[in-house]
């Protein structure tokens, strides 16, 4: 059975723009987020409060967030540590995400920590964000394959998933950071998480389209009961600390499939496509999304 409704967790302004060589001005980012909200997206990840030297593309978070006060959408942000949380709380942000790795190699590359050390770093972040009345998403990267370690064992992913939920994360987003997952692997991981007692209602999936499998993987996840799907407008983004990662699943491709299945998303595909065409013009190259290209004759 398939769900009646899917919540799209839009990551373009964060996961997309963090991977662009050019630094997009805050005014353009704000306009991008306003347009995404106007197209009907209700959760839009706005930026990250990480070290500005690690991700210079998002170093303007303090400038950007106050420009978004009137945007009618939830605008969560990434925070790696208490310093990041303090910055977010100071701006009145209450919805945050921490980001862990299922593998040691990526934990080191992305967070300069072991998996254990990064979970220790997140513990007070999750606790304090919840005390402040916020909700916390936990990302788990490299749930399927890792550029240094190859295929990632399912039980290793289940173990770190459990630990993120035990820290108090409300939601867990399973990341195929380099886009190597296939539907059988997705089914195996979701089955194993279910057997480990993880409620499917707390799971989201985050696919990259490196091998063209992102939609097949998404459909597999929907059949397993997942109803929150991450996607990036126009297919923007990869990950700066995982070189083989290409774009995220494009939001337009996802909406096209869901509409065809009669699953409601609340998104106006025409407005969304126009937004990605506008952003592509700003970035100076066409959107990699097949749906954007088809609908806009780019
Ligand atoms: P570190 O060098 O170990 O930091 O980096 P540290 O804790 O040793 O601190 C060093 C200095 O940085 C200190 O300053 C801190 O104050 C400062 P000093 O005392 O030397 O003057 N500092 C900060 N400044 C501003 N904001 C902060 C902050 N934290 C420390 N938050 C750290 C550790 C975690 C900070 C670093 O590794 C980092 O910022 N990493 C972020 C990397 C990142 O954003 N990656 C992309 C997101 S993950 C992703 O895209 C995957 C995902 O999309 C899902 C998927 O596809 O799989 C989520
Ligand atoms: Mg991603």
pLDDT tens across 78-108, in order? Answer: 999 999 999 999 999 999 999 999 999 999 9
The SS3 call for residue 291 is helix
Question: 80 CA to middle of ligand 1, Å?
Answer: 6
Residue labelled with tokens 């009618």: 72
Ligand nearest to the CA of 110: 1
Instruction: Identify whether the C-beta of residue 248 lies closer than 8 Å to the C-beta of residue 217.
Output: no
Q: Is the pLDDT of residue 239 over 60?
A: no
Residues within a 6 A CB radius of ligand 1:
15, 18, 48-51, 54-55, 78, 80-81, 83-84, 87, 99, 110-112, 139, 141, 175, 177, 206, 239, 241
Phi and psi at residue 27, to the nearest 5°: -60, -40
Q: Which residues lie below 8 Å from residue 118, measured CB to CB, with a gap of 6+? A: 100, 101, 107, 111
Looking at residue 14, the DSSP 8-state letter turns out to be I
Question: 48 CA to middle of ligand 1, Å?
Answer: 10
Among all residues, which ones are annotated catalytic?
239
Question: 50 CA to middle of ligand 1, Å?
Answer: 4
Quick one: which atom of ligand 1 is closest to the CA of 18?
46
Please report the pLDDT score of residue 21 as a whole number.
84
Q: What is the dihedral of CA 97, 244, 104, 120, to 10 degrees?
A: -10
Q: What is the mean pLDDT of the chain?
A: 95
Please report the pLDDT score of residue 236 as a whole number.
93
Q: Is the pLDDT of residue 238 over 60?
A: no
- Residue 237 binned pLDDT confidence (cut-offs 50, 70, 90): confident
Q: Is the pLDDT of residue 75 over 90?
A: yes
The whole-angstrom separation of Cα 91 and Cα 81 is 16
Please report the pLDDT score of residue 272 as a whole number.
98
ipTM surpasses 0.95 = yes
Residue nearest to atom 40 of ligand 1 (CA): 111
pTM higher than 0.90, yes or no?
Answer: yes
Q: What is the dihedral of CA 241, 242, 245, 248, to 10 degrees?
A: -50
Q: Is the pLDDT of residue 110 over 90?
A: yes
Q: Is the pLDDT of residue 219 over 80?
A: yes
Pocket test for ligand 1, best of 46, 51, 54, 111 (most atoms within 8 A of CB): 51
Tokens of 157: 């992913």
Residue labelled with tokens 């300069």: 112
- Residue 22 binned pLDDT confidence (cut-offs 50, 70, 90): confident
- Residue 241 binned pLDDT confidence (cut-offs 50, 70, 90): low
The whole-angstrom separation of Cα 80 and Cα 100 is 9
Ligand nearest to the CA of 250: 2
């Amino acid at each position: 059975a398939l769900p009646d409704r899917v919540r799209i967790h839009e990551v373009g302004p964060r996961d997309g723009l963090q991977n662009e060589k050019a630094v997009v001005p805050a005014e353009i980012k704000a306009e991008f987020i306003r347009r995404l909200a106007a197209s009907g997206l209700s959760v839009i990840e706005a930026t990250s409060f990480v070290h500005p030297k690690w991700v210079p593309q998002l170093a303007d978070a303090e400038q950007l967030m106050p420009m978004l006060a009137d945007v009618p959408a939830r605008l969560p942000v990434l925070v790696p540590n208490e310093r990041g949380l303090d910055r977010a709380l100071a701006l009145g942000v209450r919805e945050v995400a921490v980001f862990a790795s299922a593998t040691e190699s990526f934990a080191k590359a992305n967070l300069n920590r072991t998996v254990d050390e990064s979970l220790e770093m997140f513990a007070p972040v999750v606790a304090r964000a919840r005390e402040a009345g916020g909700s916390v998403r936990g990302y788990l990267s490299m749930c399927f394959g890792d550029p240094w370690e190859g295929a990632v064992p399912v039980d290793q992913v289940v173990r770190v998933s459990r630990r993120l939920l035990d820290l108090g994360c409300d939601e867990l987003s399973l990341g195929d950071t380099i886009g190597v997952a296939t539907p059988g692997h997705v089914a195996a991981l979701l089955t194993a998480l279910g057997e480990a007692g993880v409620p499917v209602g707390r799971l989201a999936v985050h696919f990259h389209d490196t091998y063209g499998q992102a939609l097949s993987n998404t459909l597999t996840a929907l059949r397993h009961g997942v109803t929150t799907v991450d996607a990036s407008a126009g297919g923007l983004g990869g990950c700066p600390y995982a070189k083989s990662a290409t774009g995220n699943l494009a939001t337009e491709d996802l909406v096209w499939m869901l509409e065809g299945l009669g699953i409601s998303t609340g998104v106006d595909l025409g407005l969304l496509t126009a937004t990605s065409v506008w952003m592509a013009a700003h970035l100076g190259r066409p959107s990699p999304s097949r749906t954007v290209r088809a609908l806009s004759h780019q």
